[in-house]
Amino acid sequence: LWVIGAASPQTGQAEAILAPCLNTSIINQFLDQFSRSLAPEVHAAMIWDGAGFHRARDWKVPDNVTLIPLPPDSPELNGIENLWHDLRSHGWSNRSDEGYEELFDVASRSWCQHCLNTDLIKSVCDKSYIPTRS
């Protein structure tokens, strides 16, 4: 099970897609979903790490999204890494699930519990080096 997500430390908004595999099609679905979640006048800058699946050439990046690649081997610069750590610490670790459906339910439920809490997203994903505009 793959969870692809984005979170805004400015607004506390978080979006994700859960998928059984990770490929260009899934990334394109996520980028489209993320784009549609933005208000019409918003243009989002998304920090994008250097993982192999983040380097495809067939992406369809929406006009209201700009991907900002991170330098190699620098996950600590990406605020969502703190969210992944928080989710692993509070629901995604130290468990044995009966199968894919149960794993999907646990991941989905944990994502919703954490990511519908805008104050949590703001604090966990904040990076002091990223300027925000009000």
Structure confidence at residue 51 (pLDDT): 64
Buried/exposed code over 39-69 (b: 16+ C-beta within 10 A; e: otherwise): eeeeebebbbbeeeeeeeeeeeebeebeeee
pTM recorded for the entire structure: 0.83
Query: If you ran DSSP here, which 8-state letter would residue 11 be given?
Result: T
| 23-43 tens-digit pLDDT | 889 999 999 999 999 999 999
79-100 per-position pLDDT tens digit: 888 888 888 888 787 777 788 8
- Residue 70 — very low, low, confident or very high, per pLDDT cuts 50/70/90? confident
